[in-house]
Structure 1
Amino acid sequence: MTDELTGLQPGTNGVDLQVGTSGVDPRIGKIQPIDIDVEMRSAYLDYAMSVIVARALPDARDGLKPVHRRILYAMHDMGMRPGTAYKKSARIVGEVLGKYHPHGDVAVYDSMVRLAQDFSMRYLLIDGQGNFGSIDGDSPAAMRYTEARLARLSDYMLGDIEKETVDWGPNFDDSLEEPTVLPAQLPNLLLNGSSGIAVGMATNIPPHNLAELADAIAYLIERWEQRDDVTVEDLMELISGPDFPTGGLIMGTEGIRSAYATGKGRIIMRGVASIEDTKGGRFRIIVTEIPYQLNKTTLLERIAQLVREERLDQISDLRDESDREGMRIVIELKRSASARKVLSQIYKLTPLQSTFGVNLLALVEGEPRLLSLRRALQIYVEHRQEVLTRRTRFELRKAQERAHILEGLRIALQFLDEVIALIRASKSADDARTGLMTHFNLSEVQAQAILDMQLRRLAALERAKIEAEYQEMMARIAHLRTLLDHPEKILEIIKTDILELKEKFGDRRRTQILPDGSADDEDVVPQEHVLVTLTQDNFVKRTLTRVYRAQGRGGRGVVGMNTRDEDQVVQALSARTLDFVLFFTNKGRIYSERAFNLPDASRTGKGLAIVNFINLPPDERVTAMVAVPDFEHATYVTMATVGGRIKRVELSEFSSVRPNGIIAMPLEDGDELGWARVTSGKQELILVTEKGQALRFDENEVRAMGRTASGVWGIRLGEGDRVTSLDVIEPGGDLLVVTPQGFGKRSSLSEYTPRGRYTGGVVTLSQSRLEKDGRIVSSRVVQEDEEVAFFSAGGIALRLRVRDIPRHGRASSGVRLVQLKKDDTVAVMVRLGLAPTAEPVTPTAALPPLPLPAPLPAPLPPPLPPPLPPPLPPPLQSKRRRQPQREAIGTSSCL
């Protein structure tokens, strides 16, 4: 029955017509109406599936798209192994086009180039020679100029491909066969990642670190029977996140966790930048790493455009000083600029902070599937199981074939005379073969092997070799059968192989992952005693306390910091790595940072500018530092100014300090905040002045105030005098004072009778000593079983046991504590806490409690240092390099 309008059979849509009785299709020579909607759907579906399967998406097993797989196999087939001579890229492209990939040469060459770019691939699969492009966006040279060969890692992608380990299919014209997947000992899908846009779907897989992947695969294999119980958290203990070839930072772990759990997630990438000061009192931002897949020229052009549009109006110059040693983008700032603020604007307005949208989509059994991290690792292991199983079967068959021949040779050697006689009596080789098969019950293969055997194999040693080879082959057959009978042994081989790859090619992470919050930090940061030091030019660092070994009184100390120019150590604080460090400035503001976030530097290291960590304005300097283990158990912080005013505030007022800081104590004109101490509300305080006066009084004489209060008078100062320290009275303690020339002494606190607030106090050092060695530069309340450290203006550090310092009367002169070089002076003294009685504790051991740490008094007011730049992500300092010739971007500047 046919349709009245079209004359077609129902349901055919003009496609499936019956062939006529003559064998000729009745549609030939006739116009057939078709349903355009059905035809378009069918044609578009065919196109879409072709793009998805044969072009845009990688296979989940080897992580390769067809073009990449064909390039690697063609180079392998051409013998272009690691260590062989390079061959022209044009020759490789021609081989791939002519045999396997019927598309344009540009597509093949661009794909090959990417496999050889160290800024695109985390681990190179092709070793290129010549211009293969750059991170600046420069195009690679034409294929007739460049050369290539397989990289070392490619051997592990193609190894055992000749052993029937993978399926093969016909090429585009059915003249050759090509592998449908590679054996892939490398977990390449996650190792190098992939990106591609298909029809209606896209993939974007970030690269990862080989060592981390190997550990995760080994972990999964060890729990293979319970693999469905392995959680994302378990795997993230081993794989912390993507590891991009260009390094950079990943901000937080939430996006990573989402991507690993569901296959989709948003990862925020950020370039690595640091702030340096210049001799002219200005600052510059140095960018040493940029986000993955960002074109450096694009970044420079974007910054220059923002400067021209006056959206970044604090930048005075922009230069690209990158060379073969590494990337270095220099952003010079104007004199009044806040470097931290400018850096934040650059992150916000330019691709220096970008988002990587993870879409872990790959082909599984020919169909696109969104994969979790665990599923992707499982597919790799399952693929390797199949590859090794097929390789074992292949090797078993080959071993059996060889053993079969060796059995025939053994029979021939056993009946050697009869075999020789039979062969000599035969008229032809065919007769000899038939005779051997008949008389000795041999197969045709065995008989032919006997006929092909050379006479030299009849020697006694050669006969022994045949026997030894036979025994070896039988043992190998037994081993291979055991592997096939016990799949768990295959898993052990996979685990051994991947750990060997880790040993050979594993390297350290390039991308640093910043945690989401302090809870994550506390899980990974060991609790250790550190010394936090700050210089006059506002360079801060933390150093393990144990690197400063204790010396006897009068020692020369060790170099505590390599000072440069006229920089001096002016503040030092004993803390622990998990403490909050509160920074008080001369303008009465307070900033907060965790101790472990401060740069970890060696004893002689300079550290980093403090503006990399707190948003310090140009006209402020840090005058006091306080370490707070937590804000719940501490009660008050008491502050004092050089002019003699004092203020007490509940510590909880400072539990949430904004990045730009908050007001801690409003000040009168000409006064400066100099000290801060944590107090309990039931303690006594002592103020010491430069001219040797000391006043002890109860802290409750200073009522607790709000942040906006300006405080009350603490001590009555004589003409030309000023406060040099504030400290908390401790039972059984002493007051230790020191002068600029290194003289000092400790006196029992019992000699300092409590008096009322805002009185003149009592003498604490002989006036003759003050006239000879200068005014008191620092004082601290100490205990006899503790240690203190002295830092000189020249960068010398001396760690000293308190018990080695003589105790003298309140008004006595004291003794030499530090042996200083000519023109050097004591800048600051810091209380370290209990002296160790044994070997230093290990970083993870429980630490003895430190006394309430407090900042040190500021020395004689140094000139206000120039403003410091804003804090940077992770404190990474770039080495200064010789400035290369500037590029065509501009002979003097990129702006």
Structure 2
Amino acid sequence: MSELLGGRLDFGTVVPLPLEEEIKHSYLDYAMSVIVGRALPDARDGLKPVQRRVLYAMLELGLRHNQAYKKSARVVGETMGKYHPHSDSAIYDTMARLAQDFSMRYPLVDGQGNFGSIDGDPPAAMRYTEARLSALGEEMLENIDEETVDWGPNFDDSLKEPLVLPSRIPNLLVNGSTGIAVGMATNIPPHNLTEVADALCYMLDHEDVELGELLHFLPGPDFPTGGEILGRDGIVEAYRTGRGRISVRGKTHVEDVKRGKKAIVITEIPYMVNKTNLIEAIVRGVQEKHLDGITDIRDESDRRGLRIVLEVNRDMDSQVALRQLYSRTQLQTTYGVINLALVDGQPRELPLLEMLKVFLSHRRNVVRRRTAYRLRKAEARAHIVEGLLKALDIIEEVIAVVRGSKDPNEARQGLTDRLGFSEPQAQAILDMRLQRLTGLERHKLEEEYAQLLGDIEMYRSILANPKVLDGVVKEEIEDVKARFGNPRRTEILDAMEDVSMEDLIPEKEIVVVLSRDNYLRRMMLEEYRLQNRGGKGVKGATPKEEDEISLVTVTTTHRDLFLFTTKGRVFAIRGHMIPQPRSGKGKPVSSFISLEEDEKVVALRDSRLSGARFVFFITRQGVAKRMPVTELENITRAGRRVLSLDSGDAIARVRCTSGEEDLLFVTASGQALRVPENEFRPLGRQARGVRGIRLDEGDVVVGCDVVQAGTDLLLINEKGLGKRTPFEEFTPHHRGGGGVRAMRLGAKTGLLVGSWGAAEKDEILLISNRGRMVRLAAEDIPILSREATGPIVVRLDEGDEVADASIIRAEEEEEE
């Protein structure tokens, strides 16, 4: 060798590289190859590359749902030889999973033979089984031959393969996906096709859609094995952020068996749980005394469905045994949702809204490209048909030109030069058969031409008008829903888990406090004993200077609490979910609800709305709105928008009304305006509202109270002075007025903190900025005229001020 190289060795250009850098780059290249090319699905069609290649190979083999089955080995060979040069077992396992009705909510492959079982049995060898595309699987490939998707070279650059499928079904959500990449993983649960289709259609009809609205159509995952989902908080969190934990349990019931014994019968198990492993775990738990009272275990599953029978000892409560099964076996599991998928080739964790938007964007693109393709074809064909019709009109001249030509090229040239036909038209005329000269054939050409012109107009309208395009997308989604949709299998339980939790938590009245830096906490109301007017109260918290009290309300551990925000949204959380710290300031409100940037909670409201027909809002700038109470039904932690606000404005008060009452607006400077409720017509959630009270410059609304018989207007100012004034002293006026004086204010009183309607038997809970709380009887506060200021109702430390107050209704305590 050295002689051939002139006595020296030549290794070419040598580039020295640090080993650490080379390993880093090589590992990153490998990681991205696994992430993009193997483990993660594309957000558009919900498929990994191997799944996409299997489905496309089956289409090329002609294995449609109404054609004969072919051996699985042939599909595997076609896929491996043309598109996926990897292990045949990996390809076969992929195809088998696409055919398993216990793995896929909607199988994309129709398998014949043993494709595995829920017991964990593997599929039979590929030489024994047969397969074809399912009808739904074909929908994944519909219109793939109409330039609807991008194509790329296969592994040896000898063929082209689709980089994504047109996918008329939202497969990423409908069938979910599971995969482990390098440093990341995906675990997307399956959903019901009907529900996903309804959510997509709603998004097409409404531009600004919020998560809370979509939950009405898409309440949660729908597993192929059924089961029950416990609670909605995990679902909302997963849909909001892309990650969440969902508790899933199997379906059971209790049956009477021989000699007075009872048996727990399991008919559905959680998704991805192996039935054999579950039974073995139960047997092991009985042997090791983790599970009590189970005397016999039988697997009675057959082709009609799953059935596991657990006989229970006569002395054992079957419900106690069932709770042990839930807590100590996989009969109840936690499904960790990770909505990780590829968007533009990059891995991203996707909230529900983003997943639906990606699919809709993909479908719009597919329909747009398909329409452009069909338009080109239709225009080309219309051009040909137009030429044929023209030729029939001047057939003698055409025949003369053709007969007078010595060869086809001269005839084609003569038709274009002398008769004005284009090259394609001339060729079509030369290819035309003599039967086209009959009257019937001419009629067919005229019908075809009219149809083509109609199609061309339709295609152009689709491409020119996004609304028309969305209409086509919606129509196709509804068609898929009508043909393949089926009822939900997994039941979502609102009450079961919550009730069991609340059974352990006594229903007690609580004080919920929100600090100025948005920390939420609760305390027991009973801790604050009734005091006489002028008392100093007890310490409710020891907030830092920047953590002064902002809002306070009274509710119970079993009720929902509505939280209204500066941006006109409302959220609901259960009372017992709010922390009760022995010390400290609680938890950030953002850990319970999803707040946007610069969005803050401005009102807390007990969800008890018995007898109310409307919810009334008044903003700090005096804008008022009356909304039907039905708009607040089924609100969750996902939230819902209920009021459109002007820039810089915020909700001041929220009240519930019957529809036939008067409302009294009160401002910080002590002005009050009484207005009949019917002056405000009911408005929907997106409406802004109308002027309720005219404000002087710098003044803001701090109170809004329903005028009711047996109640008086309670007014408290910043320095702790207060009074009650009869509502009769305020005569009704039209909305938009400036009002009359409600309290005489000065430097020693400060501004009004708020106003509240209070009855003689009610109690008042006052809280100061520094956390001092006073609970006193309403009857201890004197009734005075509008012009009066009132006596001291709470003594404050120097520098402290009243932050808020809440009314403890006497009738609610009696009901409790």
Q: Structure 1 length as normaliser, TM-score?
A: 0.54
Q: Does 1:342 align with 2:342?
A: no
Q: Secondary structure at the match of 2:56?
A: helix
Corresponding residue for residue 114 of structure 1: 97
Question: Which residue, out of 463, 467, 475, partners 1:488?
Answer: 467
Q: Does 1:158 align with 2:137?
A: no
Corresponding residue for residue 407 of structure 1: 386
Q: Distance in 1 between matches of 2:154 and 2:497?
A: 56
Corresponding residue for residue 318 of structure 1: 297
Q: Secondary structure at the match of 2:449?
A: helix
Question: Which residue, out of 500, 504, 519, partners 2:483?
Answer: 504
Q: Does 1:264 align with 2:243?
A: yes
Corresponding residue for residue 633 of structure 2: none
Q: Distance in 2 between matches of 1:376 and 1:135?
A: 29
**Deviation at 1:394?**
0.2
Q: Does 1:28 align with 2:7?
A: no
Q: Secondary structure at the match of 1:135?
A: coil
Q: Distance in 2 between matches of 1:517 and 1:328?
A: 23
Q: Does the 8 A contact of 2:230 with 2:496 survive in 1?
A: no
Q: Does the 8 A contact of 2:251 with 2:266 survive in 1?
A: yes
Q: Secondary structure at the match of 1:112?
A: helix
What does residue range 411-422 of structure 1 map to in structure 2 within 5 Å? 411-422=390-401
What does residue range 740-819 of structure 1 map to in structure 2 within 5 Å? none
Question: Which residue, out of 143, 146, 150, partners 1:167?
Answer: 150
Q: Does 1:290 align with 2:277?
A: no
**Deviation at 1:30?**
6.8
Q: Distance in 2 between matches of 1:141 and 1:293?
A: 20
Q: Distance in 2 between matches of 1:486 and 1:520?
A: 51
Q: Secondary structure at the match of 1:165?
A: coil
Q: Distance in 2 between matches of 1:178 and 1:465?
A: 39
Question: Which residue, out of 440, 451, 458, partners 2:437?
Answer: 458
Q: Distance in 2 between matches of 1:241 and 1:376?
A: 14
Corresponding residue for residue 883 of structure 1: none
**Deviation at 1:219?**
0.5
Q: Distance in 2 between matches of 1:236 and 1:219?
A: 11
What does residue range 681-720 of structure 1 map to in structure 2 within 5 Å? none
Corresponding residue for residue 603 of structure 2: none
Q: Distance in 2 between matches of 1:341 and 1:317?
A: 16
Corresponding residue for residue 195 of structure 1: 178
Q: Secondary structure at the match of 2:342?
A: strand
Q: Secondary structure at the match of 1:237?
A: helix
Corresponding residue for residue 46 of structure 2: 63
Q: Distance in 1 between matches of 2:477 and 2:24?
A: 45
**Deviation at 1:466?**
1.2
Corresponding residue for residue 244 of structure 1: 223
Question: Which residue, out of 405, 412, 418, partners 1:426?
Answer: 405
**Deviation at 1:369?**
0.8
Corresponding residue for residue 334 of structure 2: 355
Structure 2: which amino acid aligns with 1:507?
N
**Deviation at 1:310?**
2.0
**Deviation at 1:279?**
3.3
Q: Distance in 1 between matches of 2:65 and 2:421?
A: 44
Q: Deviations over 1:112-143 (max 9, x none)?
A: 00000000000111000000000011111000
Change beyond 3 A, Cα 1:350–1:175 = same
Q: Does the 8 A contact of 1:253 with 1:516 survive in 2?
A: no
Q: Which runs of 5+ in 1 are unaligned?
A: 1-21, 522-577, 579-629, 634-895
Q: Secondary structure at the match of 2:47?
A: coil
Q: Deviations over 1:823-880 (max 9, x none)?
A: xxxxxxxxxxxxxxxxxxxxxxxxxxxxxxxxxxxxxxxxxxxxxxxxxxxxxxxxxx
Structure 2: which amino acid aligns with 1:285?
I
Question: Which residue, out of 277, 302, 305, partners 2:284?
Answer: 305
Q: Secondary structure at the match of 2:253?
A: strand
Structure 2: which amino acid aligns with 1:432?
A
Instruction: Name the count of aligned residue pairs.
Output: 497
Q: Does the 8 A contact of 2:189 with 2:337 survive in 1?
A: yes
**Deviation at 1:28?**
2.8
Change beyond 3 A, Cα 1:339–1:488 = same
Q: Deviations over 1:331-390 (max 9, x none)?
A: 112221121111111111111111100000110000011111111101111100000000
Corresponding residue for residue 188 of structure 2: 205
Q: Distance in 1 between matches of 2:222 and 2:89?
A: 29
Q: Secondary structure at the match of 1:236?
A: helix
Corresponding residue for residue 423 of structure 2: 444
Structure 1: which amino acid aligns with 2:357?
Q
**Deviation at 1:253?**
0.4
Change beyond 3 A, Cα 1:99–1:358 = same
Corresponding residue for residue 345 of structure 2: 366
Structure 2: which amino acid aligns with 1:362?
A
Structure 1: which amino acid aligns with 2:467?
E
Q: Secondary structure at the match of 1:357?
A: strand
What does residue range 843-858 of structure 1 map to in structure 2 within 5 Å? none
**Deviation at 1:411?**
2.0
**Deviation at 1:185?**
0.7
Q: Distance in 2 between matches of 1:188 and 1:361?
A: 14
User: Larger radius of gyration, structure 1 or 2?
Assistant: 1
**Deviation at 1:436?**
0.9
Structure 2: which amino acid aligns with 1:158?
L
Q: Distance in 2 between matches of 1:330 and 1:471?
A: 68
Change beyond 3 A, Cα 1:331–1:123 = same
Structure 2: which amino acid aligns with 1:72?
L
Q: Distance in 2 between matches of 1:418 and 1:169?
A: 49
Q: Distance in 1 between matches of 2:350 and 2:14?
A: 48
**Deviation at 1:48?**
0.6
Structure 2: which amino acid aligns with 1:493?
V
**Deviation at 1:274?**
1.0
Corresponding residue for residue 215 of structure 1: 198
Q: Does 1:92 align with 2:107?
A: no
Change beyond 3 A, Cα 1:520–1:364 = farther
Question: Which residue, out of 210, 214, 217, partners 1:231?
Answer: 210
Q: Distance in 2 between matches of 1:136 and 1:71?
A: 25
Q: Secondary structure at the match of 2:110?
A: strand
Question: Which residue, out of 154, 160, 163, partners 1:180?
Answer: 163
What does residue range 607-756 of structure 1 map to in structure 2 within 5 Å? none
Corresponding residue for residue 779 of structure 1: none
Q: Does the 8 A contact of 2:230 with 2:497 survive in 1?
A: no
Q: Deviations over 1:279-332 (max 9, x none)?
A: 312111100000000000000010111111122241111110001111110111
Structure 2: which amino acid aligns with 1:419?
V
Corresponding residue for residue 252 of structure 2: 273
Q: Does the 8 A contact of 1:211 with 1:502 survive in 2?
A: yes
Q: Does the 8 A contact of 1:166 with 1:182 survive in 2?
A: yes
Q: Deviations over 1:94-113 (max 9, x none)?
A: 00000001111111000000
**Deviation at 1:29?**
4.9
Q: Secondary structure at the match of 2:158?
A: coil
Change beyond 3 A, Cα 1:31–1:384 = closer
Corresponding residue for residue 679 of structure 1: none
Q: Distance in 1 between matches of 2:365 and 2:356?
A: 14
Q: Secondary structure at the match of 1:115?
A: helix
Q: Does the 8 A contact of 1:254 with 1:516 survive in 2?
A: no
Corresponding residue for residue 51 of structure 1: 34
**Deviation at 1:33?**
3.1
Q: Does the 8 A contact of 2:231 with 2:498 survive in 1?
A: no
Report which stretch shifted further, 405-414 or 57-66: 405-414
Q: Deviations over 1:622-675 (max 9, x none)?
A: xxxxxxxx9x99xxxxxxxxxxxxxxxxxxxxxxxxxxxxxxxxxxxxxxxxxx
Corresponding residue for residue 132 of structure 2: 149
**Percent identity over paired residues:** 56
Q: Deviations over 1:254-295 (max 9, x none)?
A: 000000000000000101111112231211110000000000
Corresponding residue for residue 649 of structure 1: none
Q: Distance in 2 between matches of 1:322 and 1:519?
A: 32
Report which stretch shifted further, 427-436 or 286-295: 427-436
Q: Distance in 2 between matches of 1:501 and 1:441?
A: 47
What does residue range 851-870 of structure 1 map to in structure 2 within 5 Å? none
Q: Distance in 2 between matches of 1:520 and 1:364?
A: 40
**Deviation at 1:32?**
4.7
